[in-house]
Each structure stands twice: as C-alpha cells, then as structure tokens.
Structure 1
C-alpha cells in the first residue's frame, strides 16, 4: 500500500503520491485510472513528487485525467509548495516542473504566492500550428470567437464574452481544445470582464474538461485581458471555486496568489490499477 494525499486549490483537486525516496510504478495509464472519479480516487490532475535537482526543492510531475502530461498547474504548485515548505520549515521553496522552476512563498492567512514565470506570447511558444497574431486567433465555436493566446508553461486561449453564464461550455470547450490551430491542444478560458480589477473565468482544461479552478488559466486570462486593454496588470480572478489574485509584473513574470487545502489522506494499492 502506498500513502497518498488528496489536495485542492479552490476545488481544483489533486491526488498526490510521493516518489522522492523510492520509485513508484506509475504509468500514464495507471495515473489515468487513479484519476477516474468512479473507479479510482478521482482528481483533476495526478501529481507525482520526484527528487528535486540542484536549485529546486522538489520536482512535480503532472498528469491529466486522460494520462497526458501537463507542463504547468498553478493550483497544484501552491499545494505542493505548502507540503515541502512544512517538511523543511521554510517559507519559500522552488517547485520544478517540465516547464521550468516556480518559486513559491508563504503569505499570511493560508495564502501562497507562486511566480509562474514569464507569459510566453510568441506563436511558436504557445504553440500554434502556423504564424498568426496571438492577440487575435482566427478561430471560434458557437457564439464565441477571436481569442487571445499565450503559454504559461502550457497552451491557453482566452475568449472574452458578455455573459459567461449563457454559454454551454461543455459543448464548445472540447471543440476548441482540439482546434487544428493547437498542435498540442489547448486550455480554453472564457472571461467576463467585470471591471479593470476584476474578471470572472471558467476554463475547459486540456485533458480534464471543466474544473472549479485553473491557476495557469487564471494567469493566462489576466495576461490576455491586459494585452487587450480590458484590465490592468493586476486583478482578482473569480473562478467557480473561488478567487485568485493575479499580477503580471513589468518583467513579464506572472504572480498567482491563492489558498491551499488537504481534503484527506489515505493508502492505495497500485497493483489494483492496470499499468
């Protein structure tokens, strides 16, 4: 039996296993089986902790519920930072991902601030299938069109809408995720601007579907809104699960502040899940 921890940031939930001291037989297929909400533990992303190399406190490997690997997950970054910081008695740690190193610091009131790195705005960086202006992509589905795109370690497209509640996100989300302009698929954000300092966001996550919160999606939404002149460089992003504060610094880095929580802990028989 292997210990695991169920954590979440604003309802964006994770199954966390620790492979820092001994290897665990985790394959993409097994991770997907554990992530299944009916036949497994259930989560939006499966997180495997691996030893941190020089310059980082831990390596965080992220898998979506379909088993595909993700480069970034903002809410998971805060959760994992809180675990590692508690172990080490530190207020600042560095979480390494396949997309880069993410410094995270403890703030008062169970808040954690993660430096999610620079927003990547070039079409090759997103990536897109061809050269187009990332501020205005020539795609749409149903009532939405003309998104902006950027990468926060994973690809994001942000659509700006008048009434978020009026959209059938479950219908248009998967169509847009798989649009041919995204060679690696994309996370699809839908933003309603409430004021220059406050936006509402829902995200269809690549490989996961609709989630209660998406940290990297919130970062991308603020960056794209600021690029369009719809907000300033700092705003509260209200997601179905709660609020994040996002700041796009002048040096291009994006800071994300929000809470973390542990729902429960337990043990799992890995051999009960097909490899």
Structure 2
C-alpha cells in the first residue's frame, strides 16, 4: 500500500495515496492500529482517506468507477475525508488533518483545476472548507461551534475541575488553569476522556490564558492520548475562552507542537490558520 506521512504541528497522519482503496471489512481496525504504531508500523496519530467526488455527489475511486457516497453528501462537495484514530476508531472531525488534506489535494493534482486552492470537504460531522494561503499556511472554515453540555464539573484523581464543553463536530471539554506546567495531562486526560458524562468519550484540553490574545493549551485526544496539537481543540479553546470572558474575537493558541491562529466572530464560523507539511512517502505491505 502506497502512503505519505503528513504533520500539522506534530499532529501526524498517514494519508493513503490516490488509487489506494482500503477494505473496510474484517481486519481494517487492526491495520489502522498497526499503521499508527510508532515501533512496528509507520507511526501516526491517525490514518486519513481522501476520496474525490464527482459532480453528482458520488465518490470517485481512482478517477474511474463510481461508488455511492453517504446520503449526507450533496452536490458541490469536492472530496470526502475519513479519519481514523490511532486506536482504530473513526473520528468525526480533525482540524490538523484537514490542513494536511488541503495540501495533499494540491500536491497530488486532485483538484479539478490547478488554480483551485479552496475545497469543500465532507466529513462525518459535516462540511469544512480549507483554503491554501500565499504564505503556505492553510486557513480552514470549521463552521460554527455547536451546543454540547455547557459548563460542567469533572473529577480526576481527587482533583475537581470546571470544564467548558464545546462541540466542533467532535466533543471537547476545556479546563482553564492558572499554571499549565503543573497539570498531569496523561493521568488526568485518560480519566476525564471516559467520564460518565461523555458516553462517546471526549477530547480534554487544559488551557492557560497568558495574554489577551494568547492561550497556552495542551490536549488529550480521545482515541489517541496526548498529542502535540489539536485543531478542533484549539477552536474549542478559543470559543470557551470567549464564552467565559477571557479573550476577544481571536487569539494564538500555543500548543506543544507550535501555534495556531483561531478567529471567531459572534454568530460566525470559526477560522483556523496554521501550517501543514508532507514528511515522506513510502510503501508498506499490509497483512491480509
């Protein structure tokens, strides 16, 4: 199987090259886990599959043969993006992967026109719109934040927290702290992800507002564990900070792997801007 490895601020992904059509049947989950294994596989936080759409809202396999798409897909969608976490579970949305996918589409010549730099991607949680900028970064229209559980109480290892919950197509619980260097991310994140209030598990962010336009954030992603960056988590963190009066319309979110710029005007979509980079290409033999 031919693949390429991509990263968005250290949040890394295996993307299947055009023409690779995986079998989603028996053994698929195990193969995803194997690909993401950092000792026995390629190593990644997830596996991403990008499929072009034709003008009738159908999936196009290797630009030949047409298969039915999800009923949620309508005309005008350019590509379908499916994301699988390192534990084999399917993610509804991933902001960092979206930026990588936009650059992947351009670099592989998959767009309908070589001049096209903006795309409509269909995901399990809806539509996202990445656009390549002149400086090489990617700006993604992530859509509007959605209602989740509001402000809730959480407990981990005898510590009590107040979390602001935000959905960016996937669930987030943002916990604001005074000193992010003192958090026990791996220990607390693993407990809070599976709190009884989250029947489908939850992404956990710890955040410290260090300036009116800067937030330091660390993340525990459901299905992955500690990651160096989370795009949807950064969006959720800004929205949570806005709701609690901590910041204004935009801020830099400083992650372990680098910085994302997030902007959210009232009643508008969340815009996420940051880098994406191809690391290498390869071919791996898959088990049957």
TM-score normalized with structure 1 length = 0.90
SS in 2 for 1:67: coil
Listed as ranges, the matches of 1:169-248 within 5 Å are: 169-248=185-264
How far did 1:96 drift? 1.4
Equivalent of 1:119 in 123, 145, 149:
145
Greater Cα offset, 102-111 or 224-233: 102-111
In 2, the alpha carbon distance for the partners of 1:219 and 1:247 equals 8
Matched, 1:25 2:13: no
User: Structure 2 matches for 1:1-275, cutoff 5 A?
Assistant: 2-18=1-17, 21=19, 23-26=21-24, 27-52=28-53, 53=57, 54-86=75-107, 87=109, 88=111, 89=114, 90-123=116-149, 134=150, 136-142=151-157, 143=159, 145-271=161-287
Checking the alignment, whether the CA contact within 8 Å between 1:84 and 1:93 is kept in structure 2 is no
**Unaligned runs of at least 5 residues, structure 2:** 58-74
**Is this contact kept in 2: 1:235–1:246, CA < 8 A?**
yes
Return the offset for 1:140.
Answer: 2.6
The CA distance in 1 between the partners of 2:263 and 2:2, in whole Å, is 36
Structure 1 alignment gaps of length 5 or more: 124-133
Q: Deviations over 1:78-116 (max 9, x none)?
A: 110112134122111112111111111111221110011
The CA distance in 1 between the partners of 2:161 and 2:249, in whole Å, is 23
Q: What CA distance in whole angstroms lies between the structure 1 residues aligned with 2:131 and 2:81?
A: 16
Q: Secondary structure at the match of 1:173?
A: helix
Specify the SS of the correspondent of 1:230: coil
- Residue 35 of structure 1 deviates from its aligned partner by 0.9
Q: Distance in 1 between matches of 2:183 and 2:20?
A: 46
**SS of equivalent to 2:267:** coil
**In the TM superposition, what whole-angstrom CA distance separates every residue of 1:225-273 from its partner, at most 9, and x where no partner exists?**
10000111210000010000001122331110000101110011122xx
> C-alpha separation between the residues in 2 aligned to 1:227 and 1:251?
12
* Stretch moving more, 72-81 or 114-123: 114-123
Cα distance, 1:144 vs structure 2: 5.0
Query: Cα distance, 1:3 vs. partner?
Result: 1.1
CA separation in 2, counterparts of 1:167 and 1:157?
15
Per-residue deviation, 1:25 = 2.0
Q: How far is the alpha carbon of 1:168 from its aligned partner?
A: 1.2
1:217/1:60 CA distance change after superposition, 3 Å = same
CA distance in 2, matches of 1:14, 1:122: 27
Aligned to 1:130: none
What is the aligned length?
A: 259
The Cα RMSD (Å) is 1.4
SS in 2 for 1:270: coil
Verify the 8 A CA contact 1:201 1:239 in the aligned structure 2: yes
Q: Distance in 2 between matches of 1:182 and 1:46?
A: 24
